[in-house]
Structure 1
C-alpha cells in the first residue's frame, strides 16, 4: 500500500508524461501469466483509460466479482455475478477497477494523482473514485481476462506476523483512512455543487 505515497511523491504527471500507461501495482501479485505488451494491445483495442488484469482466484484471493478473470473472454466491463445480479450498472459491478492492480492512461493518471492524499498511507477508497477520472466509466474502465494475475494478499505494512496485534492495528488505521478519504470526497462534491449552484443563480435573468 505504501506505493500510493511513493506515487504521489515521485510519479507526478509531468514526470511520467513520456509514458502512455502507468502501472501502479501491489507487490503481492503473481505475474507469471502476465505479458505487459499484449495487455496494452488489448487496452488500446477496447479504448480503456483505466483497467486491470483479471484476477485468477484459483491461485489467489478475490475481493470483488467484477475483477475475477472470465475464462475464454478477452476482456469484460461488467458482471452480474454475486450481488450484481439485480443491477450491473452500479459500482463495483461496472465502471470499477480494484486498487491493487490498476493501469492508467496518461490522462487518467493525471486525474488520479490529484486524488491521492499525501497524509493517508493506505489508499483505501481510491478505487471507488477512479470513475471520476474518465468520461464514461462503463465504457472506459474494464478488466482484461486474457492477461491475468493472482493476488496473494501479502501483508504489506508492518511485520509479516501479528506481533502485539500489529496486523489488526494496521487494518483499523486503513479503515479510519477509508472514512477520512470518503469524507473529503463528499466535502469536495458538496463544495462543487454549491459553486455550480451559485454560478447558475448569478447567470439567471433578473426580474
Structure 2
C-alpha cells in the first residue's frame, strides 16, 4: 500500500471479483439443494436447433436398441367421433405387443374392429371409470407390463408410444403421462398447468399429480395398487387423480428404480409420478360422453364425493406448479421457484430449472 503526501493512503480500484465470488457461492448453494441429480451427463446448452436435435436423438435411440418391455393393455372409451383416430392408432401401434379394450359409450357399431385379434369391444353407455372398475380388475393385467388408460378425445398425431414407454420403463416410473400440447384449452379449469408441455433438454418432470385424462400410463403394479381407489359410480375420475400418486407412494410404497443418487425427503413427492415432456399429446376436449349424460351432470360433484369417501388419503391441491418440489417447501423455496419459472424464457437459466427434471 502506497502512502501519499500528507499521510493519506491510495485506495485500491473497485473490482467485480468480490460480488462475482459471492454470486458463485449462492448458485452453488442453490444447486446443492436440488433433490435429484441425474447420474447421466446432461446435454450442454447450445443453440436452440441443437437442443431440438438432441431431443430427437433421445427419442429415436431406444427404438434402435429394441423393446425392453413386453405386453401392453390399452383401455379406451370410444365413440363415433374418434373412430378414425382409433383405426389410425391400431395401424401405428399394431397388435403384437398391444392388446385393446374399447368401451363404446354411444351405441355405434364397432363390430369390424371386434373381429380383430387382440381387440375386445364392450358396449356400455357409461363414463370411463365405470368401465375400468368393472372390466379391468387387478388380475386382468397379469402378463402385461403396462396398462394405458386413454380417452376418446386424445390426439396422437405427434405421439410415439414406443419411445414414451421406453422412457417410463427405463426409470420404472409407476404412473406417467405424456405432456399435453399448449393450445386453446390452456385456460380450462381441468387442464392443469403441471401437465402441459415444458420444452427443454430433458425427458420429463417428477410431479405429485397426473391428470385422469386424456392419457395415463400405469405400470402393472401401479394399476393393481390404485384399482382399490377407482369408484365405478364416480365415472369421471375427477378427484381420483388428486390422490392416486400419494396413494401409490404411501399405501403401496411404490418407488422407481433410478440410477444415481436420490434424496428421500418430503420435498421430492416420492418420485412416483412423472410427466414425460419428450412425448406430447393433444387434448381435443370433445366431451361427447359427458354430453350424453345430460347437461345436469357435473364432474366436480364426483371430486367432492371422492374426497368425502377417502379423507385420509392425501390430495394434491397445488397442481398449478411446474414440478413436484414446487408444491412443497418453505417461503424462500417458493420465492426461488417463482423466479425460475418467470425467467424460463431465457436459455441461460435452463440449468437452474432442473430440480424435478430428468
Q: Would the TM-score normalized by the shorter structure come out above 0.5? A: yes
Q: Say if 2:229 is the partner of 1:104.
A: no
**How many residues are aligned here?**
165
Given the alignment of the two structures, is residue 74 of structure 1 paired with residue 203 of structure 2, yes or no?
Answer: yes
Asked if 1:58 corresponds to 2:183, the answer is yes
Question: Taking structure 1 as reference, are residues 11 and 133 closer, same or farther at Cα in structure 2, changes over 3 Å only?
Answer: same
Does 2:171 align with 1:39? no
- What are the ranges of 5 or more consecutive residues in structure 2 without an aligned counterpart? 1-76, 78-126, 256-268, 314-358
Q: Which residue of 2 aligns with 1:95?
A: 208
TM-score, normalised relative to structure 2: 0.43
**1:36 offset after TM fit, Å?**
1.3
Match of 1:133 in 2: 248
Deviations 1:35-77 (A, max 9, x none): 1111111012223110000110137546111101111331112
Paired residue secondary structure (1:128): coil
Alignment of 1:1-207 (within 5 A): 2-58=127-183, 61=186, 63-72=191-200, 73-77=202-206, 94-100=207-213, 101-131=215-245, 132-134=247-249, 135=253, 137-159=269-291, 166-167=294-295, 169-171=296-298, 174-186=299-311
Q: Distance in 1 between matches of 2:243 and 2:291?
A: 30
Q: Is the 8 A contact 1:60 1:150 kept in 2?
A: no
Structure whose alpha-carbon radius of gyration is higher: 2
Paired with 1:55 and 1:121, the residues of 2 have a C-alpha distance of: 22
Which of the pair has the greater relative contact order for Cα pairs under 8 Å at 6+ separation?
1
User: Unpaired segments of 5 or more residues in structure 1?
Assistant: 78-93, 190-207
CA RMSD of aligned residues (A): 2.2
**Shift in Å at residue 158 of structure 1?**
4.7
**Does the 8 Å CA contact 2:153/2:286 hold for their aligned counterparts?**
yes
